Structure 1
Amino acid sequence: MEEITNQCAGLKLLVREGNEVDLAMTVRKNGCVLVGNFCTKRRVNLESVARVLKTVWRTEENFEVYDMGDNKIIFHFSLKEDLDKVLLLSPWSFDKYLLILHQLSTEEAVTKVKFNNASFWVQIHGLPTMCQTKEAGVVIGGTLGKVEKVDVDAKGFRLGGYMRIRVSMDITVPLCRGRLVHLRGPSPQ
């Protein structure tokens, strides 16, 4: 193994192979692209997906759908507002299978996107009314994943039976059944 490593270390590009190619001028500025992945091993019918999602998403302008194989799909939107609306209203499902969406940046390749995270609205029940604050939502939601939004009023409170938190969670690990929350601070010594 060490011999192979030493041989590979000595490999170098020829002068004509080492020329750099600058793609800065060719990058599309309109980054209205979502990549989607269906969480199923069963083959999803792309025509059905496109037809149903065009009806359900109710975008202002039409969007194009491209099949990438392995239940991965690219959605190209004409308007950034349509893309933002679709992301805001996610998670989406099709035929009972979760559709994980990822907004593609200009320097990302579709083949390198990891579909490990999905955003969900989580309800927090049983909190005392005066603890239903944005800060409490961020602390509790932070134990689940990356907190994207806490559903509170302009004053930072959510007065009601429960609190809603939007959290991006790792879907490769099982969901937690609950969390123990205590109101007392650290014990004085």
Structure 2
Amino acid sequence: MEEIIDRCAKLKLLLREDVEVAIQAPLTEEGLVLIGKFCTKRKINLESVARVLRSVWRAEHNFEVNDLGENKVMFLFQSKDDMERVLLLNPWSFDKYLLILHKMVRGEAVKDIKYDRSPFWIQIHGLPTMCQTKEVG
């Protein structure tokens, strides 16, 4: 083992290998990417997801669906209106599993996203009329 450590310690980059690489920002318009995570341990069929969500979301322009592994999916929209409508009509589910959506911002890494929040719609029946205020809600 020590022999391997000694050999690795002697490794050095040649001058032509010691070059910095500039990473260009993506050419996509800011904020047209949603990252989704399905709340299930079962593997999700991405083809079915894409087919169903295209019909349910009724986007005017097409959007790409890419598998990120671990039941995470990237949705790349061509239209800001389509993406905003999808976010506005949250929450979504597929095959009875919650789909948590997160709007990506420039410089954010997928591995750093926490999927711990999702909006929900609720109804309260039988609430007295005088209690139907914003504060009570």
Q: Percent identity?
A: 62
Instruction: Give the Å deviation of 1:75.
Output: 0.2
For 2:106 and 2:75, locate their aligned partners in 1 and report how far apart those are by CA, in whole Å.
15
For 2:123 and 2:94, locate their aligned partners in 1 and report how far apart those are by CA, in whole Å.
23
Residues 1-189 of structure 1: pairs in structure 2 closer than 5 A:
26=25, 28-137=28-137
For 2:68 and 2:62, locate their aligned partners in 1 and report how far apart those are by CA, in whole Å.
20
Any idea what SS the aligned residue of 2:81 has?
helix
Q: Which amino acid in structure 1 is aligned with residue 111 of structure 2?
A: T
Deviations 1:40-82 (A, max 9, x none): 1111111111111101110111100110000000001111111
TM-score by length of structure 2 reads 0.76
Number of residue pairs matched?
A: 117
For 1:21 and 1:120, locate their aligned partners in 2 and report how far apart those are by CA, in whole Å.
44
Greater fraction of residues in strand: 1
List runs of 5+ in structure 1 lacking aligned partners: 1-19, 138-189
For 1:57 and 1:83, locate their aligned partners in 2 and report how far apart those are by CA, in whole Å.
9
Instruction: Give the Å deviation of 1:21.
Output: 8.8
Deviations 1:144-185 (A, max 9, x none): xxxxxxxxxxxxxxxxxxxxxxxxxxxxxxxxxxxxxxxxxx
Instruction: Give the Å deviation of 1:26.
Output: 2.9
Backbone CA RMSD of aligned residues: 2.1
